[in-house]
Amino acid sequence: MASATLPSAMNVPGSASQAPIEKPSAPPIKILPSHLAQGYSYVHPVLLLALCAARFQSLVADPVHELFRDLPWLALLQISYVMLCLPPAGSTQATETGSDGEEKKKAASRSPSSPAMTLRPGKPGYRRKQQTGKHGWAGVGAKLMPAFLSLTLTFLLATPILAVLLVLFGAPLTTHNLETVLCAAHMALLSATALVYVHGVDGYVWKEVWGIARPVDAVWGSALGTGLGAWFGAIPVPLDWDRPWQAFPITILTGAYIGYALGSLVSRTPLLYGKRIQFAPETEEMEKKTN
C-alpha cells in the first residue's frame, strides 16, 4: 500500500527530477579595468589594420614571402593584446565583473586589516613599503604561461583546422598550398589566440564557439568578425576583373583583418554586448510547446 502513495512524477520519464543539469554558460569576457588595458584594447585593432594597409602592396607582389614575414609581428601583437587586456583562463579576474571587482579590491585596500596598513613598530604613522617587485613579476609570469600555451595551441590545432576549412570552402587543393597554410595561420592568430587564452580548453565553451552560441564580447566578436570578413573577402576572387590583388588569398586575408577590427569594436557596444545570435526562434518555441 505504501507504493501507491508515491508521487506520479517518479514514474514519468523525462520529468523535471530526471532532467539533466546543464552546465551554465561562461559569462561574456570583459576587458580588464585598468586604463592601460582599456586604452590599448581600442588601439590594437587600429594597429592591425595599419599593418595590413602598410604591407598590402608587398602582399600583392609576393604573397608567400609577405605572409611569412608578417607572421611573427602578428603573433607578437596578439600576445601583447591578450596579456595587457584580457584575464587568463582560470583566473579570478575572469569571473569578476569588471568595475565591481575593482571596487572590491579598492575596498580591501582601504580596510584596516589590510597588510598595506601595517605600521612599523616604534614609528607611528609610517607605513611599511610593499614589496611590489616580486608580485609584479609573478603577475607577468601568471599571464606569460597562458599566453605561450594559447600561441602553441593556435599553431598546432587552429591552423590545420582553418586550412582544411579554407580548402572545403574553395581554396585550391593541389596548388597554392603555402598560401593556404599561411592564410590559415594568420586567421588562427586573429581568431583563436584570445579564445584559448581566456577560455582554455573548456569543452563546453568550445561547443558554444563552434555552434555560434557564445554571448557576444570582444573576444568572441573579433573571432566571429574574422570568419565573416574572410567569407566576404572571398567574393572578389572568382570575378574576372583581372586585378593583381584578386589573387588567392589576398582579399580573404584583408577581409579577415577588417572583420577582426570591426568585430572587436562593435561587439563591445551596449547594443550587442552579452547578446546571443538567434537563428531559429520558431524552432525553440515549438520545442517548448511539445515539452
pLDDT tens for each residue of 112-160 = 444 444 444 444 444 444 444 444 556 677 788 989 999 999 999 999 9
Confidence of residue 226 (pLDDT cuts 50, 70, 90): very high
**pLDDT at residue 269 tops 80:** yes
Establish if 132 belongs to a structural domain.
no
Establish if 52 belongs to a structural domain.
yes
pTM higher than 0.85: no
pLDDT of residue 284: 52
Give the list of residues 6+ apart from residue 102 with CB closer than 8 angstroms, or none.
33
What is the distance between the alpha carbons of residues 43 and 50, in angstroms, rounded to a whole number?
Answer: 11
- Whether the link from the prior residue into 249 is cis, omega within 30° of 0, is yes
Give the list of residues 6+ apart from residue 287 with CB closer than 8 angstroms, or none.
none
Establish if 256 belongs to a structural domain.
yes
Establish if 101 belongs to a structural domain.
no
What are the cell numbers at 55? Answer: 604591407
Work out how many domains the chain is built from and give that number.
Answer: 1
Across the range 258-275, mean pLDDT stands at: 94
Residue 92 C-beta-side C-alpha neighbours within 13 Å? 6
**pLDDT at residue 178 tops 80:** yes
What is the distance between the alpha carbons of residues 32 and 24, in angstroms, rounded to a whole number?
Answer: 23
Establish if 232 belongs to a structural domain.
yes
Across the range 54-62, mean pLDDT stands at: 94
What share of the chain has pLDDT > 90, as a percent? 57
Establish if 287 belongs to a structural domain.
no
**pLDDT at residue 10 tops 70:** no
Taken in order 261, 266, 268, 273, is the CA torsion positive or negative? negative
pLDDT of residue 90: 79
Domain enclosing residue 259, as ranges: 35-89+140-276
Average the pLDDT over each of 24-28, 198-202, 215-219 and give the range with the smallest value.
Answer: 24-28
Establish if 129 belongs to a structural domain.
no
CA separation (Å) from 169 to 41, 54, 164?
32, 28, 9
204, containing H or E segment: helix 203-210
Note every long-range contact of 55-64, with CB atoms under 8 Å and residues 24 or more positions apart, other chains counting. Answer: 56/245, 56/254, 59/250, 59/253, 60/244, 60/245, 60/247, 60/250, 63/179, 63/182, 63/247, 63/249, 63/250, 64/178, 64/179, 64/182
Question: Which tops the pLDDT comparison, 237 or 3?
Answer: 237
What is the distance between the alpha carbons of residues 80 and 261, in angstroms, rounded to a whole number?
Answer: 16
pLDDT of residue 91: 73
Establish if 128 belongs to a structural domain.
no
pLDDT of residue 26: 80
